[in-house]
Chains A and B, each alone.
Chain A
Amino acid sequence: MAEVKLTQVNKRYGNIHAVHDVDLTVADEEFVVLVGPSGCGKSTTLRMVAGLEEISGGTIDIGGRVVNDLPPRDRDIAMVFQNYALYQHMTVYDNLAFGLRNRKVPEADIRKEIDRAASILGIQPLMARKPKQLSGGQQQRVALGRCIVRNPAVFLFDEPLSNLDAKLRAQMRIELKELRTRVATTSIYVTHDQVEAMTLGDRIVVMKDGLVQQIGTPLELYRTPANRFVGSFLGSPAMNFVDVTVVQKNGGLVLSDFGADIVLPDAMAAALAGHVGKNVVIGLRPEHILMGEGSSEGTIRLDGSIVLTEQLGAQQLVELRVGERTVMAAGVDPDLRLQGGDAGRFSIALDRVHVFAAGDSGPVLWSAGKGQVTAPLRHVS
């Protein structure tokens, strides 16, 4: 029912610039996840949408109405908090009814709304209890119920699962996902957990130091990260980064310092032409490093040694050393017998490689999703 639109939104606390020119449009019934490390400004952004923080610059628009100067109660939103924020002195029923009573909804309608929400969430037996008598998961369901009964234009979630233990968190994640199919409402969800972001979001907004790094669907962000930070933040085990130098050799470009020189195909060379003599960073997803020769064309083969292996049952993680660099390979056959100290040959499909400029947030220079690998790869030994 409502679109949320942030235009050039800023937040300053004195000299600290907590949120920097955020532009974001959340479509009606879309579920957008703001993700980033702590202190990246994601919670502040959400609290500005809620009206709990003043907006230092820019506009926020909910359902076609600029809400900058509206108090939270007039913004037609509901919010789930990290520590649930249930009213400790009220029963579950009164917690759910509080917002509706404030809006002078007749008691009979309140009862109906609460019954509906309670049946969706399965919290009917808890109605007479106080929050202190509930488990963490139950409290979180009540907090969700408090939002659902209100039928707001927008749901806001501020790290709602981070206080739950790992098992419960996974379960609640699935419940949230199911809830979406029953209660379709525009939602903004803040988390620092990339798994929640990947699984829940229609789109993900990655933030760092108050700046939006990239906005896109989970797969877009995973496959074509806009910079090194986004690449490192999404995915587990994390993306490998290898510092290399772009060198002109034999009339073409090669990346040196990672085992032997990697001769670049033309498209990639064209993308990196401006970086000759400079350091760049190769980004490699662990699951894209294959033990052995590899099969297809367009793979580079590297000789290294195995540092150690981690047996996870379904797969093995293998840490490999090439020269002075180490990389982690994932998805290795668990039955493959590997040992620390062994020599290991592995291969990388070059259509999976990302190249970033140097620096923690170095922008992407080349990404398989963006460029087309045409020429066959040559591996010079």
Chain B
Amino acid sequence: MSVATDTGYTPPKRGSFLDALAPGGKRAFFLLSVLGVLLIFAFPVFWLVLTSMRPAWGVYYVHRGLEFTLGNYLEVLEQEVVVHAFFNSFVIATLSTFFSLTVTVTSGYMLSRFTGKLANAWFGTIYIFRTIPYITWVLPLYFVTQWWGIFDTYLGLLLPHIAVHICFFSWLMKGFFDGIDPSMESAALIDGCTRWGAFLRVALPSALPGIAALSILCWLWTWNEFLFALILTSHNTPMITVVMAQFVSELGTEWNLMSATAVMAMVPALIVAIFGQKYVVRGLKV
């Protein structure tokens, strides 16, 4: 309530009172929402890590008791299939990242630098095939890879993994090259390069920041991939995501072991999120 004073006009106090309060209230609201966001996005991961370090008898009361152990990790790593799966996932993710980028960097460059019927047709094709659900072509691939004798082998998983990224990556690569001045390549042509030389020695190095960011994401996506691994592999080449999904249905009670596996499978993601995030975000903003 404003207090009347004997000196003529006073500015309305109510307004200034609200003005003083509002920023504080807003700040509290903002702080609460930040905490809420942290809780929602970080808690499941935090809980998984916590579970993975609880002894078997304590797993059902994760929130009670303070005994922690790394035994679960050792126990999981004693299982040959898990180690094998980690190794396979690593190999497939690495190889498929390399080849996906190699294959799409040229087609993206082509989309960026050429106009005409061929480029238009290719652009339309990748647009359409980006829309088609994976299951539509992976289901038949189950038979196709068997006919070609590559089912349940590295090759049988690697090649579809390269194919799956063609549409999206060609499009992203086009974006990377669109950001590079084509007269640089013209200059290289005049400076004595062939078209391949201009592409490899001038355009490609300039596109590297984007390509590097994409390679990190591609590696993670392949590492995380499930559907292809489920359909196109069997006992010979287990992949880590499939092994984990099997845990859920087969040893549905041993949450400590499952969590330990999941945490290990999440390590690359954690590393990228913590150390590489700025780089990834910047690279993809092209």
Interface residues of A (CB under 8 A from B): 47, 50-52, 71-73, 75, 77-79, 81-83, 85-89, 98-99, 102-103, 146, 150
Contacts and interface: CB of A to CB of B under 8 A. Distances in A.
17 contacts: A51-B190, A72-B190, A73-B190, A75-B190, A79-B186, A79-B187, A82-B183, A83-B181, A85-B187, A86-B187, A87-B187, A87-B202, A89-B206, A89-B208, A98-B188, A99-B191, A150-B191
Nearest to B195: A71
B187 A73 contact: no
A73 B191 contact: yes
A333 B79 CA distance: 99
Interface of B: 181, 183-184, 186-194, 197, 202, 205-206, 208
Given A85-B181, A88-B206, A89-B206, A102 B193 contact: yes
Given A87-B202, A89-B205, A89-B206, A73 B193 contact: yes
B194 A71 contact: yes
Which 5 A-B residue pairs are closest in the complex by CB-CB distance?
A102-B192, A99-B191, A85-B183, A85-B187, A89-B205
A95 to B, nearest CB: 9
Given A85-B181, A87-B202, A89-B206, A71 B187 contact: no
A53 to B, nearest CB: 10
Nearest to B115: A13
A198 B206 CA distance: 38
Contacts of A102: 191-193, 197
Contacts, number: 61
Given A85-B181, A88-B184, A72 B189 contact: yes
A77 B183 CA distance: 15
A103 B186 contact: no
Contacts of A47: 186
A82 B184 CA distance: 11
Contact of A73 (B181, B184, B192, B205): B192
Nearest to A89: B205
Contacts of B206: 87-89
A148 to B, nearest CB: 13
B187 A146 contact: yes
Given A71-B189, A78-B190, A79-B187, 10 more contacts: A72-B186, A72-B190, A73-B189, A85-B181, A85-B183, A85-B186, A85-B187, A99-B192, A102-B193, A150-B191
Q: Which one of B191, B205, B208 has the highest number of Cβ atoms from chain A below 10 Å of its Cβ? A: B191
B125 to A, nearest CB: 22
A83 B182 CA distance: 10
B186 A98 contact: no
B189 A87 contact: no
B35 to A, nearest CB: 41
A187 to B, nearest CB: 14
- Which secondary structure dominates where chain B touches chain A? helix
A88 B204 CA distance: 11
A81 B191 contact: no
A77 B202 CA distance: 19
A82 B182 CA distance: 12
Nearest to A97: B191
Most chain A beta carbons < 10 A, residue from B183, B194, B206, B208: B183
A130 B127 CA distance: 38
Q: Name the residue among B192, B193, B194, B206 with the largest chain A CB count within 10 angstroms.
A: B192
Nearest to B180: A88
A52 B187 CA distance: 10
B186 A87 contact: no
Given A89-B205, A89-B206, A98 B191 contact: yes
Given A51-B189, A52-B189, A85 B194 contact: no
A12 B188 CA distance: 25
B190 A50 contact: yes
Contacts of B187: 79, 81, 85-87, 146
Contacts of B181: 83, 85
A77 B184 contact: no
Contacts of B186: 47, 50, 52, 72, 79, 81, 85
B189 A81 contact: no
A193 to B, nearest CB: 19
Given A52-B189, A98-B188, A73 B194 contact: yes
A71 B190 CA distance: 8
Among A51, A52, A72, A150, max chain B CB count under 10 A is at A72
Contacts of B189: 51-52, 71-73
A32 to B, nearest CB: 19
Contacts of A88: 184, 206
A73 B187 CA distance: 10
Nearest to B185: A85
A73 B186 CA distance: 10
B184 A85 contact: yes
A352 to B, nearest CB: 43
Contacts of B190: 50-52, 72-73, 75, 77-79, 99
A232 B283 CA distance: 49
B70 to A, nearest CB: 45
A295 to B, nearest CB: 54
B207 to A, nearest CB: 10
A156 B31 CA distance: 62
Nearest to A156: B190
Given A87-B188, A88-B206, A89-B206, A81 B193 contact: no
B188 A83 contact: no
A56 to B, nearest CB: 15
B193 to A, nearest CB: 6
B184 A87 contact: yes
Nearest to B187: A85
